[in-house]
Structure 1
Amino acid sequence: MNLNETIQPLQTTAVDRLRVQIYENRQQMGNAAGSHVAGKMKELLSTKSRIRMVFAAAPSQNEFLQTLKSSEGIDWSRVTVFHMDEYIGLSLDAPQRFGTFLCERLFDEVKPGEVHLIDSSGNIDEECLRYAGLLGEAPIDIVCLGIGENGHIAFNDPPVADFNDPMLVKSVELDLPCRQQQVNDGCFATLQDVPTHALTLTIPALCSGAHLYCMVPGKTKTAAVRRTLNGSISTECPSTVLRTHPDCTLYVDTDSYGGELE
């Protein structure tokens, strides 16, 4: 079954340069996004020897990741993968680690040719430089991301977001709404369990990707999606920067879109 042909959005629209596709539910949204990313990967691999991708780790990505790993015809041995953030202060075997999340749901099964995980267990400044060096070795082809309840992309919360950040990777203090979201998502039992700091790819690092795919399902994201599409482009809602990217598609379901369909 060709998901790209069988699952069509209820509506498509555009805000500035950002394409928006609205689906009936999160499963259809994830299926469509996974199919589209798989198609782009195969297209790029038909003309390039290798491609480089960045992935988000969050429950919002589950349906997308399931579809992507089930897609046939992708030569993952020619794919180099990164992820976009990691907590500071969690043990290496903590199930909430984002590297662990992606290994369990994608990397361990598809076996990319190169897997670069953020190591937040040692010297933080050195790790920022190491990971930035890996990211900067060649252009990033595809970034698969989400949007937080406070409008963050990766862990670029409003207080620390910088559209012109000189760094590719930095350590940040997590905003309270961001930490609360981790409880809302069921990743941690209480707010006190959520780390206060993390490493994150910066907004310029994310936006350097040639092709961006942003998956944002669920009623908890309605306000963030509305601000992303209707608010002024500013770090008060970091995800508004996606409206300036030359090739970004936002995938939402009717719950996260929240508005009237035309």
Structure 2
Amino acid sequence: MIIHVFNSQQELNQAGAGIITALIQTKPDAVLGLATGGTPVGIYEELVKNYNAARVSFRHAKSFNLDEYVGLPDGHSESYRTYMNHHLFDHVDIQMEETHVPNGNADDVDEECEEYDAMMADAGQVDLQILGIGHNGHIGFNEPGRELTAGTHRVELKAETREANARYFPSIDEVPTHAITMGIASIMKAKQIILIVRGADKAEIVERALFGPITTDCPASLLQAHPNLVVLLDNEAGSGLIEQ
């Protein structure tokens, strides 16, 4: 595990984008595991800058997103497909057919999950997986519990997760109750994982995830077992690690 703590958001964003850019420069057909939410937005902005400056091309890359809400209409402003198009895909030269986000409106969600895993297997091992972390330690939408699911699956979102995401919707009643998410095994298969965390409100769960016991009650704690984990924190998120 390598941990970097940054004094500014800009430094964190540039570092994250730099890792991804360097990967694609050395392996143009890299398979990227992408995340959504507020955490990676600045990194995607820096990637677009790198593309516009001709430092990187995504033409031969593939991407697989961690998750998607179940039941949002196609084109909904808060769907993760819309998010990815808006923040990255529409601004670089990646081939849209090589960008993959689970279909939250599939007629058969379980079948969609199986097909998503099959597409990932066909693409080969994910070279780099971007992750954030929830206040309860979830990664993707793998919520704390007595057991965790290995492959892509449908999950019921916990109340605290829906409350955390309510800021993106007119009311909490409009936050979906279910999502499709990559499973823990799918995430852990990536060659490299970048965990990105911002804010003092995440300091406690960061310390627990990185230095506490490995337990399904904190899914992010399983990342301690990954052989190539890079953690990018701002000063606030890293404040609990000073004595580690």
What is the aligned counterpart of 1:192 among 173, 196, 215?
Answer: 173
Residue 70, structure 1, aligned to residue 49, structure 2: yes
Preserved contact between residue 37 and residue 213 of structure 1 (Cα < 8 Å): no
Of 131, 134, 141, which aligns to 1:145? 131
Residue in structure 2 matched with residue 105 of structure 1 by the alignment: 87
Residue equivalent to 2:21 = 38
Output one character per residue of 1:30-59: Cα deviation in whole Å (capped at 9) or x when no partner: 2211112211221233xxxx2211100111
Displaced runs of 4+ in structure 1, greater than 4 A?
Answer: none
Identity %: 27
Counterpart in 2 of 1:6? none
Which residue among 154, 157, 177 is the counterpart of 1:171? 154
What secondary structure sits across from 1:172 in the alignment? strand
Aligned match of 1:133: 118
Q: For residues 120-169 of structure 1, what are the alpha-carbon distances to aligned partners after superposition, in whole Å with 9 as ceiling and x for unaligned? A: 1122112112211101111111111111111111000102762xx44x21
CA distance in 1, matches of 2:125, 2:79: 26
167, 179, 193: which one aligns with 1:212: 193
Name which of 63, 66, 86 aligns with 1:81: 63
SS in 2 for 1:102: helix
Counterpart-to-counterpart distance in 2, 1:132 and 1:261: 39
SS at match of 1:36: helix
Cα distance in 1 between the residues matched to 2:204 and 2:147:
19
Once residues 111 and 181 of structure 2 are traced to their aligned partners in structure 1, the CA distance between those partners, rounded to angstroms, is: 14
Whether 1:52 aligns to 2:37 is no
Secondary structure at the residue paired with 1:126? helix
Deviation at 1:61, TM superposition (A): 0.8
Deviations 1:85-143 (A, max 9, x none): 00111111211111110111001111313112211112211211221110111111111
Unpaired segments of 5 or more residues in structure 2?
none
SS at 1:136 equivalent: helix
Contact 1:145–1:153 (CA under 8 A) maintained in structure 2 = yes
Report the CA distance between 1:195 and its aligned residue: 0.8
C-alpha deviation, 1:260, in angstroms? 6.4
> What pairs up with 1:211-230 in 2 under 5 angstroms?
211-230=192-211
CA distance in structure 2 between the partners assigned to 1:149 and 1:215 by the alignment: 13
Answer whether contact 2:132 2:197 (CA < 8 A) is retained. yes
1:26 and 2:1 correspond: no
Code of the residue aligned with 1:145 in structure 2: it is: L
Report the equivalent of 1:124. Answer: 109
CA contact (8 A) 1:30 1:67 kept: yes
- CA pair 117-170 structure 1, distance change in 2 beyond 3 A: same
Q: How many residues align?
A: 236
Q: Which residue of 2 aligns with 1:240?
A: 221
- AA in 1 matched with 2:84: L
Following the alignment from structure 2 to structure 1, what is the Cα–Cα distance between the partners of residues 237 and 56? 30
Cα shift at 1:64: 1.1
Note the 1:11-22 alignment, pairs <5 A. Answer: 18-22=1-5
RMSD of aligned residue pairs (Cα, Å): 1.6
Distance 1:239 1:178, change over 3 A: same
Query: Structure 1 unaligned runs (5+)?
Result: 1-17
Q: After superposition, what is the alpha-carbon deviation per residue over 1:211-234, rounded to whole angstroms, capped at 9, x for unaligned?
A: 111111112212221211221011
TM-score, structure 2 normalization: 0.91
Report the secondary structure of 2:119's partner residue.
helix
1:82, distance to aligned residue in structure 2 (A): 1.1
Give the whole-Å Cα distance in 2 for the aligned partners of 1:104 and 1:149: 26
